[in-house]
Amino acid sequence: QKEVEQNSGPLSVPEGAIASLNCTYSDRGSQSFFWYRQYSGKSPELIMFIYSNGDKEDGRFTAQLNKASQYVSLLIRDSQPSDSATYLCAVGSGNQFYFGTGTSLTVIP
Amino acid sequence: GAVVSQHPSWVICKSGTSVKIECRSLDFQATTMFWYRQFPKQSLMLMATSNEGSKATYEQGVEKDKFLINHASLTLSTLTVTSAHPEDSSFYICSASQEGSGSEAFFGQGTRLTVV
């Protein structure tokens, strides 16, 4: 499989802080980039997708893509305890999706 | 977002039997469906990709004769775990996409398989 790398964490942030999640990918031809959130025992749910270089904001979430550096990140502002979950980075390449191993985030009240 | 329904949500079966898992896209036509397996505290591992009307493409190390995938229509794909063994116990998740990598994938709720 083509590589998608994430820091497995765990990442702990206090409530109200900014959580920063990072992801790098190996295939320069990758076209689409996604962030999913997965609670324990549940399926992943889509949070954000981004196709172009730059930032994309949706509420408290901001996805950042830098294709030259093969890097995509997710910022969560004003982190809440309910944001505690595993965050999966996914990269679309050709007709495939490849997932990173996920970063476990804990938001401390 | 679009709805993908996976059935059953959980199943327990005896070693040596076969189990079929269904994945349906309820409100869109899924050009491509993906099957994943996830062991506890590990990430999703892609097993295979299926396109409607054609044979599935399996990832390296996944036994195609053991994990039979059928994508007979644009709204239904099935995964059959044949001659299941305890080591096949896992969380199986499908996802569906309308246009492959051009659009996001929507996930079913997953099937927790326990083989005893």
DSSP secondary structure letters along A4-45:
EEE----EEEETTS-EEEEEEES-TT--EEEEEEE-TTS--E
Q: Which residues contact B55 (CB under 8 A, 6 or more apart)?
A: none
Identify the residue with better confidence: A3 or A76. Answer: A76
Q: Across chain A, what does the average pLDDT equal?
A: 91
- pLDDT, residue A14, reads 97
Pairing of strands A32-38, A45-50: antiparallel
B39 to chain A, closest Cα gap in Å: 10
SS3 assignment, position B90:
strand
Low-confidence ranges of chain B (pLDDT < 50): 100-101
Tokens in use for B67? 């994990």
Average pLDDT over every residue of A89-99: 79
| pLDDT on residue B102 | 56
Question: Is B33 in contact with B23 (CB distance < 8 Å)?
Answer: yes
Q: What is the pLDDT of residue B52?
A: 80
- Predicted pLDDT at B101: 46
Residues 6+ apart with CB under 8 A from A48: A34, A35, A56, A58, A61, A63, A74
B44: chain A residues, CB-CB within 8 Å? 44, 88, 99
SS3 call for B101: helix
Predicted confidence at residue B2, as pLDDT, reads: 73
Mean pLDDT of A71-88: 96
Whole-angstrom distance, CA of residue A72 vs CA of residue A65: 4
Instruction: Answer yes or no: do A94 and B108 touch at CB < 8 A.
Output: no
Give yes or no for residue A66 having a pLDDT over 50.
yes
The burial of B21, by beta-carbon neighbours within 10 Å (0-12 exposed, 13-18 middle, 19 or more buried), is given as buried
Contact between A35 and A48 (Cβ < 8 Å): yes
Residue A1 has pLDDT above 60, yes or no: no
Question: Phi/psi of residue B97, each to 5°?
Answer: -135, 145
Q: Do A43 and B109 touch (CB under 8 A)?
A: yes
Q: Which of residues 57-86 of A touch B (CB under 8 A)?
A: none
Digit-coded pLDDT (tens) for A10-22: 899 999 999 999 9
Query: Could you tell me if B89 lies within 8 Å of chain A, comparing CB atoms?
Result: no
Q: Give the Cα separation of A27 and A74 in Å (integer).
A: 19
